[in-house]
Structures are given as structure tokens and as C-alpha cells.
């Protein structure tokens, strides 16, 4: 493993207002976030020579460069697998900077998901494409497994059967995220907490998932500036040092439909990421003061806690009991409200929150933060980060 530990840092973060109807194109949203991130770092477009985004982002790097006034690019890249790419963008940017390919790389994600291209909608055509993915999906799309919610529901039901977890356990995740969002003015669900009773009363999407087990749809964009730690120390904001970054895919991996494994109750790809993060950083879960976990669906938060080593397999329901992952619990998770409460920008807003926690500037600041763990989309090939104080 090529170690980038401590060599690079996130020097700037920027975001648009999160909304349900932005009134702007995805290119305009991306440009706004990129320029905001550069301003946060005290840099200009002329300082940028690299861009990284998601394969699913509608904005080509050259279009974003043109829109923002960025000049020559010596590095640009796109990371696969939806939300699983989020931390992977920082990994690729950090590798480019650490190896001298680029000096300053901006990672971005722009979304018109609510008012434009909506993700997760039923699409019977998925099973008919002349590709390996089409062949794979032809086995389950005709039987109604059409959406991410349906795919995750299969996992969630098996997890409940194996470990005695309940819908109320999943609901405790949603309650925690909405509690944090309620005190975050940037969150869509600002001042709108929920109770466990309200979670249980929300309509079914795909049993055992209620509406409030599923992340929201958002318009918005987030961008992050990655440069060398040495250079970041001279910029406007205190840096969030990239202590570790990893990507991972598990054996028998499939896109949120890994039903061919003997054990369906875990997320082995997150286990691959966890081993990489702990090895590169020399840390363990006890060295983390807070965690930003990808919460597109509540059941995967429980499994991530287990795969990352915060608790043993099947024990996450006990770990989160009694507000264990709330802001005053033993492991505050997603102090910004996560994708369930703040906004769904494919996890990039979670990385921005991790930077704020390291800086000590979050609206829901966890005391004495030294190290923050961040994860990207789960159920797919995924990625993760540990960000630290300089």
C-alpha cells in the first residue's frame, strides 16, 4: 500500500445551499461549490491543476474548469460506484498531490436529484442491457428487486433474523440523525426532529424499511480542496490532514445486491476499507472522537459500526441504544445530520463536516476532536478516510 499518511490535507470546503428545487443547472451548482471551496482556502482558480469527481456526475471536468476559470489540468479522474466514490475522490486527489502529479486538486459532486435526474427510481430496463450488469440484474429485476430500497430491504431483513435487530433499532439511527440536523441551520430538516414513534408511523417503502429509514433527495453541490500538508499550513484555514484513505471491494461483490455470499449480514467491502485505514493510520476505533458514516439507509449504519470495529458483529443494536450515537453519546455519528437529515450529496457533505469537526467549527461540535473517520457508500465497492488535526 502506498502510504499518503500525513502528506496531504483538505485545505478548503465549499457547498451550495441544500434544497429540493435549486433552480440552477448541475454545472452551475458545481461551479458555485468549487469557487466557495477555493475561497475558503484562500486560493484562486489559477491555483488548481487537478479535478476529481464521480462517474455519475453530469459535469465533465473540463466543463467545470471552463465555468470556474481554472486553467491547465495536469490531473483529472472519475471514481466509480455512486456514493462509494465519495472518499475515493479524496484518495485519488491525495495520491496525485503526494506523488507530484498535481499541486492542488479539487474534488466535487453536484446533484439535481430532487428536481432533475432522480436516483433510485424503478427501472425495468436495468435487466435488459447488453452488459455484464444487465445480465446480472436480469436475475432479480423481473421479480421486483428494482430499487436500492428493495435491495437494502433484503439485507435488512436477514440482519434482523440473524441478530434480533428490530425496526425500532433502525429507527434509533433516524432519530439521532434528525436530532443533529434539527440544530444545523444548513440542514434541510433544520428544527424538524422526529421521535421513534413518528419513525414507526411513517409509511412503508419496502418492508422492513419505513420512509424515515431512507435518505432524502437533494439539490446541491459540495467541493473540497486537497493540497500538500506543508502548503495547507500557509493557507487561510487550519488543515484537515489526510491520515489515511482506502478503497475496498469484497469477495462476491455486486452493486447492493451481494446475495451470493454465504453470510449476508455484513459488509465485507467496508471491512477491507477498515483494515486499510487502521493499517495506514496506526490507529484503532478508540482513537476516534466522532464518525461520519454513510447513512443512505439506516440498516447499513449498524453494519458499518460492526465492520469498522466499534462493536462486535450483531452488537450494533446495543451500541446505539440509549442515544449511543447521538451528539452526547459514546460515539457521536454524523453531527451534521447526515444524508438522512442534512442533505444527500452522495456523502461529500459528510467529508465537509469531518473537516469542520477537525477545525473545531461545526455547529454541533464534538469536544476535543483529534481524529474523524468518514465512510462512503455502502453495499457497493466503497471507500473511507481518517482526517486529523495537524
All cell numbers assigned to 218: 437533494
Catalytic residue among 159, 163, 170, 344: 344
Closest CA relative to residue 166, chosen from 324, 271, 321, 312: 321
Catalytic residue among 81, 159, 163, 294: 294
| DSSP codes joined into one string, 48-109 | --EEEEETT-SS-HHHHHHHHT----SEEEEE-SGGGGHHHHHHHHHHHHHTTS-SEEEEEE
Closest CA relative to residue 152, chosen from 213, 218, 199: 213
The CA distance from 351 to 39, in Å, is: 18
The bridge status of strand 104-112 relative to strand 75-79 is unpaired
What's the residue count for the chain?
390
Residue position matching grid coordinates 473540463? 62
Closest CA relative to residue 223, chosen from 44, 85, 47, 32: 32
Name the 3-class secondary structure at 104. strand
Residue position matching grid coordinates 495537524? 390
Residue 323 and residue 329 in contact, taking contact as beta carbons nearer than 8 Å: yes
The CA distance from 196 to 201, in Å, is: 9
Would you call 190 a catalytic residue per the annotation?
no
Q: For 202-326, where are the alpha helices, taking DSSP H only? A: 229-232, 268-281, 298-307, 316-319
Would you call 108 a catalytic residue per the annotation?
no
Return the active site residues: 294, 344
Amino acid at each position: 500500500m502506498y502510504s499518503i499518511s500525513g502528506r496531504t490535507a483538505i485545505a478548503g470546503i465549499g457547498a451550495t445551499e441544500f434544497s429540493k428545487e435549486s433552480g440552477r443547472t448541475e454545472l452551475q451548482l458545481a461551479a458555485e461549490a468549487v469557487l466557495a471551496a477555493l475561497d475558503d482556502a484562500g486560493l484562486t482558480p489559477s491555483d488548481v491543476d487537478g479535478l476529481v469527481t464521480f462517474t455519475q456526475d453530469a459535469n465533465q471536468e473540463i466543463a467545470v474548469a471552463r465555468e470556474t476559470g481554472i486553467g491547465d489540468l495536469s490531473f483529472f479522474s472519475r471514481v466509480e460506484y455512486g456514493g462509494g466514490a465519495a472518499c475515493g475522490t479524496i484518495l485519488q486527489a491525495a495520491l496525485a498531490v503526494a506523488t507530484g502529479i498535481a499541486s492542488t486538486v479539487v474534488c466535487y459532486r453536484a446533484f439535481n436529484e430532487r428536481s432533475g435526474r432522480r436516483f433510485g427510481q424503478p427501472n425495468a430496463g436495468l435487466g435488459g442491457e447488453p452488459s455484464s450488469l444487465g445480465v446480472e440484474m436480469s436475475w432479480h429485476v423481473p421479480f421486483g428487486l428494482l430499487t436500492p430500497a428493495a435491495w437494502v430491504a433484503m439485507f435488512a431483513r436477514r440482519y434482523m433474523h440473524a441478530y434480533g435487530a428490530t425496526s425500532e433499532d433502525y429507527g434509533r439511527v433516524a432519530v439521532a440523525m434528525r436530532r443533529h440536523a434539527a440544530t444545523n441551520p444548513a440542514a434541510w430538516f433544520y428544527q424538524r426532529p422526529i421521535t421513534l414513534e413518528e419513525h414507526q408511523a411513517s409509511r412503508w417503502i419496502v418492508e422492513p424499511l419505513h420512509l424515515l429509514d431512507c435518505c432524502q433527495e437533494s439539490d446541491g453541490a459540495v467541493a473540497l480542496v486537497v493540497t500538500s500538508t506543508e502548503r495547507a499550513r500557509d493557507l487561510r484555514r487550519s488543515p484537515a490532514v489526510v491520515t489515511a484513505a482506502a478503497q475496498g471491494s469484497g469477495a462476491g461483490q455486486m452493486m447492493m445486491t451481494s446475495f451470493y455470499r454465504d453470510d449476508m449480514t455484513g459488509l465485507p467491502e467496508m471491512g477491507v476499507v477498515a483494515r486499510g485505514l487502521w493499517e495506514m493510520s496506526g490507529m484503532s476505533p478508540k482513537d476516534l472522537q466522532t464518525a461520519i458514516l454513510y447513512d443512505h439507509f439506516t440498516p447499513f449504519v449498524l453494519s458499518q459500526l460492526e465492520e469498522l470495529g466499534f462493536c462486535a458483529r450483531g452488537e450494533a443494536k446495543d451500541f446505539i441504544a440509549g442515544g449511543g450515537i447521538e451528539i452526547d453519546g459514546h460515539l457521536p455519528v454524523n453531527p451534521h445530520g447526515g444524508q438522512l437529515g442534512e442533505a444527500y450529496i452522495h456523502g461529500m457533505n459528510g467529508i465537509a463536516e469531518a473537516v469542520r469537526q477537525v477545525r473545531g467549527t461545526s455547529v454541533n461540535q464534538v469536544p476535543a476532536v483529534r481524529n474523524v473517520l468518514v465512510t462512503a457508500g455502502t453495499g457497493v465497492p466503497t471507500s473511507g478516510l481518517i482526517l486529523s488535526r495537524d
